[in-house]
């Protein structure tokens, strides 16, 4: 990704230095410029993009010094920001002077819509020139706020998982997700689909075969996060256990919580008992909730003082509280 302090930025830095005034970077500008060669060096003679190409502007999130001659500015585009493509990023000072520009391969920033969570993008812009820390008045090391960013993003992730836990409960399996079926000949299948366990969304993309099982046996799904917000993702493992008392959740050696749900048990004769809490969702999830709402309205047996305890009403209320 090419980046440079451009001519207007160099002139402004020299002016501020001559007048013993601080250079204050105020905001980031994002643009989507047709035909821009993002692999080429930055054109230092350029100015601000045409207004029609500017897709987003936002105040910087943080700043810090890396060394005496290097300072870095950063911005977080949260899940509520979008929707737009961009391939050009600029930093602008408090006087609306374009200081620096970077090119990036064209990418899409989308916001949260319904059950689709928007992506979060962090952009850092490193500037290097003599006495940069002194000219900008930046005295906070970059590591200080970089650590804070990780905490903020992890907190956002934790809040989203908590919302999903309120909405779907301990576990909810859509349609045939994780259903164990007897495929004959001593073979079994774990069906594809989507589920939520303790607010974590997991999905099997294709049916998973299971063979050579010693019956009777219990099937479990182990759901966990493989890392933090920036580098982690939802993950699962399917494993079997001898019949007995339900297995408990646990923390792995790294301190990550693992949530265990028994999805099925198979008798010695190969009969499968389904233990999943499931919901049939024929299409878009929002349509299912809409159908539930219509069912509440049509249920004339429900008295007004009983409505707040109706299961479908509770489910819809959770959906609203989750902001979905």
Closest C-alpha to 66, from 149, 141, 145: 141
Please tell me whether residues 135 and 84 are part of one structural domain: yes
Residues in contact with 201: Cβ distance below 8 Å, sequence separation at least 6, in sequence order: 164, 194, 195, 234
Among 95-109, 145-159, 269-283, 296-310, which is the least confidently predicted range?
296-310
Rounded distance between C-alpha atoms, residue 230 and residue 154, angstroms: 8
Query: If pLDDT is split at 50, 70 and 90, which confidence band does 232 have?
Result: low
Query: If pLDDT is split at 50, 70 and 90, which confidence band does 307 have?
Result: very low
Cβ–Cβ < 8 Å for 175, 280:
yes
Residue 65: inside a domain, yes or no? yes
DSSP tag of 206: S
Q: Which single residue is written with the structure tokens 């609203």?
A: 320
DSSP string, 47-105: -PPPGGGEEEEEE--EEEEEETTEEEEEEEE-TT---EEEEEEEEEETTS-EEEEEEEE
Residue 82: inside a domain, yes or no? yes
Please tell me whether residues 300 and 277 are part of one structural domain: no
Please tell me whether residues 215 and 256 are part of one structural domain: yes
Domain boundary among 265, 281, 297: 281
Summarised one tens digit per residue, pLDDT across range 43-68 is 999 999 999 999 999 999 888 877 77
Mean pLDDT throughout 301-311?
50
Residue 158: inside a domain, yes or no? no
Is residue 26 predicted with pLDDT exceeding 50?
A: yes
Q: Which residue has the higher pLDDT, 119 or 56?
A: 56
Domain count, the chain: 3
Please tell me whether residues 320 and 265 are part of one structural domain: no
Q: What's the confidence (pLDDT) of residue 235?
A: 85
Mean pLDDT throughout 245-255?
87
Residue 250: inside a domain, yes or no? yes
Q: What's the confidence (pLDDT) of residue 230?
A: 44
Mean pLDDT throughout 107-119?
84
Q: What's the confidence (pLDDT) of residue 132?
A: 78
Please tell me whether residues 275 and 293 are part of one structural domain: no
Please tell me whether residues 135 and 7 are part of one structural domain: yes
Q: Which single residue is written with the structure tokens 């198979």?
A: 266
Please tell me whether residues 178 and 234 are part of one structural domain: yes
Is residue 292 predicted with pLDDT exceeding 80?
A: no
Summarised one tens digit per residue, pLDDT across range 164-210 is 898 899 999 999 999 999 999 889 999 999 999 999 999 998 999 98
Query: If pLDDT is split at 50, 70 and 90, which confidence band does 18 have?
Result: confident
Please tell me whether residues 178 and 275 are part of one structural domain: yes
Residue 157: inside a domain, yes or no? no
Residue 155: inside a domain, yes or no? no
Mean pLDDT throughout 244-271?
90
Q: What's the confidence (pLDDT) of residue 159?
A: 82
Rounded distance between C-alpha atoms, residue 21 and residue 320, angstroms: 50
Residue 29: inside a domain, yes or no? yes
Among 54-68, 271-285, 308-322, which is the least confidently predicted range?
308-322
Please tell me whether residues 189 and 78 are part of one structural domain: no
Q: Which residue has the higher pLDDT, 277 or 70?
A: 277
Please tell me whether residues 210 and 247 are part of one structural domain: yes
Please tell me whether residues 8 and 136 are part of one structural domain: yes
pLDDT, mean over the chain: 83
Enclosing domain of residue 313: 286-324
Residue 207: inside a domain, yes or no? yes
Please tell me whether residues 109 and 171 are part of one structural domain: no
Mean pLDDT throughout 25-54?
96
Q: What's the confidence (pLDDT) of residue 247?
A: 92
């Amino acid at each position: 990704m090419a980046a440079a302090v451009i001519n207007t930025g160099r002139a402004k830095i020299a002016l501020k230095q001559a007048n013993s005034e601080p250079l204050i970077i105020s905001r980031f500008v994002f643009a989507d410029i047709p035909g821009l060669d993002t692999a080429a060096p930055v054109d230092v003679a350029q100015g601000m993009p045409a207004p029609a190409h500017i897709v987003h502007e936002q105040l910087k999130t943080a700043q810090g010094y890396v060394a005496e001659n290097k300072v870095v500015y950063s911005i977080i585009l949260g899940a509520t920001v979008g929707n737009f493509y961009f391939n050009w990023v600029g930093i602008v000072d408090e006087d609306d002077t374009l200081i620096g520009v970077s090119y990036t391969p064209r990418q899409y920033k989308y916001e949260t819509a319904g059950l689709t969570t928007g992506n979060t993008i962090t952009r850092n812009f490193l500037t290097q020139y003599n006495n940069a820390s002194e000219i900008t008045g930046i005295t906070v090391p970059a590591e200080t706020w970089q650590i804070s960013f990780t905490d903020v993003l992890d907190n956002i992730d934790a809040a989203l998982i908590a919302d999903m836990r309120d909405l779907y409960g301990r576990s909810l399996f859509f349609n045939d997700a994780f259903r164990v079926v007897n495929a004959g000949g001593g073979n079994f299948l774990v069906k594809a689909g989507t589920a939520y366990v303790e607010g974590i969304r997991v999905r099997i993309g294709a049916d998973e075969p299971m063979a050579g099982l010693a019956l009777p046996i219990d099937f479990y799904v182990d759901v966990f996060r493989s890392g933090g917000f920036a580098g982690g993702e939802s993950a699962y493992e399917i494993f079997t256990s001898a019949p007995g008392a339900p297995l408990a959740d646990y923390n792995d050696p790294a301190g990550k919580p693992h949530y265990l749900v028994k999805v099925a048990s198979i008798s010695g004769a190969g009969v499968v008992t389904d233990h999943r809490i499931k919901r049939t969702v024929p299409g878009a999830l929002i349509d299912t909730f809409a159908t539930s709402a219509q069912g509440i309205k049509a249920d004339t047996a429900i008295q007004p003082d009983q409505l707040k305890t109706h299961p479908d009403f509770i489910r819809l209320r959770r959906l609203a509280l989750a902001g979905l």
